[in-house]
Amino acid sequence: MSATPGATDGPGSGGRRDGGRPVPRRPRARLRLSGADPWSVMTTSFLISLTLGVCSIVTVALLWVLLTVVGAVAWRSLGWALALTAGVAVLEVALTTALATLAAFIYNMSAGLVGGVELTVTEDE
């Protein structure tokens, strides 16, 4: 029994609430993520990490120019800084791609054992 008359939405109320208005129903879908394609994970992680590597090289170049304009003492040349940054970016791209692909393989093995991740998706109003 409800404290407010006409505001119930239990059995026998016909799904009506607040003076006879119907309760809006949100569509729901239950999804299960049971596997990830390692090839698509590898290509996506490669492209994302490559983009981040290029962004880091551009950032170092812009910071070097900014420090030169403000008059900060440069103890090495711009070429040395960009070469070091490019080396770190190549290492980051290789490690990120390899670790993401390995994570996809591990997820696929564990999803085979426990069934994967279950998601409930509702439509937002």
Q: What does the mean pLDDT of the chain come to?
A: 84
* 93 burial level (CB within 10 Å; 0-12, 13-18, 19+): buried
- For 49-58, write each residue's pLDDT tens digit: 999 999 999 9
Which secondary structure element, helix H or strand E, spans residue 119, and what is its range?
strand 117-122
What is the maximum span of the chain, computed from C-alpha positions, in angstroms? 81
pLDDT at 45 over 50: yes
Give the integer Cα–Cα distance in Å for 115 and 31.
Answer: 12
Check pLDDT > 70 for residue 2: no
Q: Residue 111 corresponds to which amino acid?
A: A
What's the pLDDT score for residue 33? 84
Model-wide pTM > 0.85: no
